[in-house]
Chain A
Amino acid sequence: MASLELKNIVKRYKSQTVLDNLSLTVADGETLVLFGPSGAGKTVLLRLVAGVIDPDEGKILIGGEDMTDVDAEFRGVGMAFQNFALFPHMSAFDNIATPLEARHSSQSTIKAGVESVAKLLKIGHVLSHKPRALSNGQKQRTALARALVGAPPLLLLDDPLRNVDAKLRFEMRLELPRLLADRGATVVYVTQDYKEAMALGDRIAVMSQGVVRQLGTPEQIYREPANIEIARLFGDPTINLLDVKPARDGKGVYVGLSNVQVHLPAAYETAVGRDCVIGLRPEALSFVDAGAPGAIPVTVEAETPLNEKIVTLVRTVRGREILVSRPAGAPGQAEGKAHIAIDSKSALLFDQASGERIGSKNVVSLRNGEAA
């Protein structure tokens, strides 16, 4: 078991700063997901922890021990690569066995170790194959087995599901959390897929341009994104973003949407009079009858089933396009005129200029299954 601590890490390539004074702590046994667009520095960060590249500044502590200047082979971490990085000239068995061989384990220990992890990952029948004879899914499992076989206290997984097909990715997304929990290892998991991040992470660190923009539980990231960018990255269909200018009347703070006043929680008092962007999750919108309070007239444009929900594209009277989602099976809405209501408690307000979310602590608990 090992915690991981990164202190003020700086990494530059030529004049470009890839990681900018980054500090991060991963508790023993925790799974931290590094999420962000490509070029955010996630992979570089993982490699720094693994010890195959060195930071320009800062310290890396594994299990409380300073590992900054320790060579990769002595750090005792396990790592799975996005492109699998299998040894093409070795069989799957030999690939998986390499961490055990490095410890000079006996042949029987190696055999037992490889076979048990292979069984766990359901690749027992292809152990004699060379990597080129394996399917993508088998390659990915072999790479994972190689990372797991030595039972490393710290596991680094660099987008291991990136290069496998959608079906397998779904399967592994279900399988991995249990697999990782059983191992009890501390895990740093890199991904660009927000669903993977939500499904696997105890906490998620959202990175962009070498900086951690937000660190929190999946629920926090989804419910209280630090800025517009993060709000846009998490959630499918994407959050609706509309330019608004909050105002105040007798009943409190409100924004005008299609000439209807939508009142916001009192915590948004500070936003009055500023140019803002309101973020409305598609599931926070619902179709209502014309007479309902706060009903906004819209025109239904198109409807698309998306897995477990149905997404409707509607157009407001001002011509702005909005996505509304509802669980599959819920009563539909005929094309043409309709009305929607906003669950204003879950509305997010961002500053238009900076993109930062305007402070509000009205987190309503995440309804089950909505995020995933």
Chain B
Amino acid sequence: MEHTSLLERILRGVALTLVVIFFMFPIVWIFMMSFQTNETILRIPPQLVFEPTLANYTALITGKLTTMSGTLDIAFMRNLWNSVFLSTTSVAVALLLGVPAAYAFARHKFRGSEDIAFTLLSFRFAPALLVLLPLTLYFQKLGLANTYIGLIWVYQLICLPLILWIVRGYFEDIPADIEYAYRIAGHSWFATFRKIALPLAGPGIAAAGLLAFIFAWNNFVFALVLASADKQPVTVGALAFITSSGIQYGQISAAIVLSITPTLALALYAQRYLVEGLSLGAVKG
């Protein structure tokens, strides 16, 4: 460690605090809003002291939204479940398809392999809206519109390229000699993939899976067009809070808190695993 003066340490502390406040403020503010009623939220000037209420959360969990113009049914818990189901299944399917494909692209240079890999990546360049119109027509013909299978399929546009390209890099980082050594020891290529490549690329696969999960979770436009109320994820479901009697800020905040909780928990859990696994270190002498 370099020697640092007291002044330097103080300045560094101040700078860190400023950065943390800057990034954390919106989240803290939303968290506070989720415990307030619309009236206290919209008060001017805004106040830090308020009487907390759980009304927003009860409304979300019971599915009964009480507004000035009467009681409204909202399917927030259903939406949350849809989000969890769609994101998890999409990522699972993408991992199942993407990881072996990434290994193939990393280890075997076959004719056109670069072109195929790039084509897959290019799915990420296309504006979603451009793809959506023809896709909707096809899906309606095929009977895939408003089905989980259809949505998971479309979500592959988000997840698969991401996983393929990130995981491919991790596979390429494994020295070929390590895999050769396992082959020469008498194991098949499939055993080598399972026992050597997969564990060594594990942290990379986890990172890619996590990113893909977050992207899938945050997706809005695919689900908006292709899913009706009972299949919608939270991102689309949140539109329900814009009611005829105004925007329900309290409920929106509570919904945000609830919907970022799974991704946040996953990220925190995976982070521990990522750091643990990333330092392989034993390859070179």
Binary per-residue interface labels of chain B (169-210) against chain A in the complex, 1 for a CB within 8 Å, 0 otherwise:
000000111101111111111010000100110000000000
Whether the pair A81, B181 counts as a contact (CB closer than 8 A) is: yes
A51 to B189, CA, bound (A): 12
The stretch from A55-63, A71-79, A196-204 touching chain B is: A71-79
Q: What B residues does A84 contact at CB under 8 A? A: 285
Cross-interface CB contact of B186 among A102, A134, A136, A163, cutoff 8 Å: A102
Within 8 A of B (CB), among A89-107: 89, 98-99, 101-103
Decide if A279 is an interface residue (CB 8 Å cutoff). no
Known pairs A50-B180, A85-B177; A146 contacts B285 (CB<8 A): no
Known contacts A85-B178, A87-B178; is A73 also within 8 Å of B200 by CB? no
Contacts of A74 in B (CB 8 A): 186
Q: Nearest-CB distance from B40 to chain A (Å)?
A: 54
Query: Are B282 and A99 touching (Cβ within 8 A)?
Result: no
Residue B284 CB within 8 A of the other chain: yes
Which of A52, A74, A75 counts the most chain B CB atoms within 10 A?
A52
User: Is B70 positioned at the interface, with any CB of A under 8 Å from its CB?
Assistant: no
Contact B183 A73, beta carbon cutoff 8 Å? yes
Q: What is the CA–CA distance of A86 and B181 in the complex, to the nearest angstrom?
A: 8
B282 with A131: CB separation less than 8 A? yes
How near does chain A come to B95, taking the closest CB pair, in angstroms?
19
Interface residue from A51, A101, A132 paired with B184 (Cβ < 8 Å): A51
Complex CA gap A140/B284 in Å reads 11
Is A37 part of the contact surface with B, judged by Cβ < 8 Å? no
A146 touches B180 (CB 8 A): no
A8 an interface residue at 8 Å Cβ cutoff?
no
Residue of A with least CB distance to B186: A102
In the assembled complex, which residues on chain A have CB atoms less than 8 Å from the CB atom of B199? 89
- Report the count of interface residues on A (CB-CB < 8 A): 37
4 new A-B contacts, CB < 8 A, other than A72-B183, A73-B184, are A73-B188, A86-B181, A86-B283, A87-B178
Chain B residues with CB under 8 Å of A81's CB are 177, 180-181
Contact residues in A for B185 (Cβ distance below 8 Å): 73, 98-99, 101-102, 146, 150
A to B CB contacts below 8 Å, 17 in the list: A51-B184, A76-B186, A79-B184, A85-B177, A86-B282, A86-B283, A87-B196, A88-B280, A98-B181, A98-B185, A98-B186, A103-B186, A132-B279, A134-B282, A146-B185, A150-B185, A163-B285
What separation, in Å, do the CA atoms of A217 and B280 have in the docked complex?
42
A83–B180 Cα distance when bound, in Å, is: 12
Which residues between 6 and 20 of chain B lie within 8 Å of chain A, taking CB atoms?
none
Expressed in whole angstroms, the Cα–Cα distance for A23 and B186 within the complex equals 26
Q: What residues of B have a CB within 8 angstroms of the CB of A163 in the complex?
A: 285
Residue from A79, A101, A130, A139 within 8 A of B285 (CB atoms): A139
Cα of A140 to Cα of B282 in the assembled complex, Å: 12
Does the CB pair B180–A85 fall under 8 Å?
yes
B176 shortest CB reach to chain A, Å:
8
Residue contact B187 to A83, C-beta cutoff 8 Å: no
Q: B281 within 8 Å of A by Cβ?
A: yes
* A40 to B81 CA separation, bound complex (whole angstroms): 62
Q: Tell me whether A78 and B184 are in contact (CB under 8 A).
A: yes
Q: Is the CB of A130 within 8 A of B282?
A: yes
The residue in chain B whose Cβ has the minimal distance to the Cβ of A137 is: B285
- Inter-chain CB contacts under 8 Å: number: 92
Is the beta-carbon distance between B281 and A83 smaller than 8 angstroms?
no
| Contacting residue for A146 out of B181, B196, B282, CB 8 A | B181
Q: Known: A83-B177, A85-B180. Is A99-B283 also a contact (CB below 8 A)?
A: no
- Chain B residues positioned under 8 Å from A134 (CB to CB): 282
**Neighbouring A residues of B189 by C-beta, 8 Å:** 71
Mark out the residues of chain B between 251 and 285 whose CB falls within 8 Å of any chain A CB in the assembled complex.
279-285
* A47 close to B (CB within 8 Å): yes
Residue with the highest number of chain B CB atoms closer than 10 Å, among A52, A84, A87, A99: A87
Complex Cα distance, B279 from A134, in Å, reads 15
In Å, the complex CA distance between A83 and B191 comes to 22
How distant is the Cα of A323 from the Cα of B56 in the complex, in angstroms?
Answer: 92
Shortest A283–chain B CB gap in Å is 34
Give complex CA distance A50, B182 in Å. Answer: 12
The answer, among A50, A103, A132, for a CB contact under 8 Å with B282, is A132
Knowing A88-B200, A89-B199, A89-B200, the reply to whether A83 touches B283 (Cβ < 8 A) is: yes
**What's the nearest-Cβ distance from chain B to residue A92, in Å?**
10
Q: Which residues of A contact B176 (CB under 8 A)?
A: 52
Question: Nearest CB to that of B177 among chain A residues?
Answer: A85
A88–B281 CB distance below 8 A: yes
Nearest B residue (CB) for A73: B186
Query: Which chain A positions have C-beta within 8 A of B175?
Result: 83, 85
Q: Say how far A2's CB is from chain B's closest CB, in angstroms.
A: 15
Residue of B nearest to A135 (CB): B285
User: Pick the contact of A88 from B182, B186, B283 — CB < 8 Å?
Assistant: B283
Interface centre among A50, A76, A84, A140 (most CB of B within 10 A): A84
Report if A132-B181 is in contact (Cβ < 8 Å); known contacts: A73-B187, A83-B175, A99-B186: no
From A72, A78, A103, A139, B180 is in contact (CB under 8 Å) with A72
Name A131's closest neighbour in chain B (CB-CB). B282
Partner of B284, one of A78, A83, A99, A164: A83
Chain B residue at minimal CB-CB distance from A94: B195
Residues of B within 8 A of A132 (CB): 279-282
Task: Please measure, in the bound complex, the distance between the C-alpha atom of A78 and the C-alpha atom of B181, giving whole angstroms.
Answer: 9
Most buried by A among B177, B178, B185, B188: B185
Q: Are the CB atoms of A72 and B184 closer together than 8 Å? A: yes
What is the distance, in angstroms, from B185's C-beta to the closest C-beta of chain A? 4
CB distance from A141 to the nearest CB of B (A): 12
